[in-house]
Amino acid sequence: MSTKPAANQLVTAASCPGGMARQYRVQVASVETPSSWKLVGSFRDATKARQCAAMLQQAGTRARVVDCRALPTAA
């Protein structure tokens, strides 16, 4: 009997070293405090995050994509 899993039974890791799967966060500048940023959405695909930010920018909103590779921690 083979111990190798079938192709439809392969397991993908849910996280990476550091405890969080990589994600791309789209943020917009706050109207009340322009130096602050608010989360609009989180994406696991960089292309989709850039597309979202581009649509927001075309609508006149300051937007950025933040590449998150590890869990934020308090200092």
- 8, part of any domain: no
Count of structural domains, the chain: 1
What's the pLDDT at 69?
Answer: 78
What's the pLDDT at 32?
Answer: 79
Q: Residue 56 sits in which domain range?
A: 22-68
- 73, part of any domain: no
What's the pLDDT at 7?
Answer: 58
Sign of CA dihedral 14, 18, 19, 21: negative
Sign of CA dihedral 38, 40, 43, 47: negative
- 4, part of any domain: no
Please give the average pLDDT of every successive group of 10 residues along the chain, which has 75 residues.
57 56 89 84 94 96 89 57
What's the pLDDT at 59?
Answer: 95
What's the pLDDT at 31?
Answer: 78
- 15, part of any domain: no
What's the pLDDT at 20?
Answer: 65
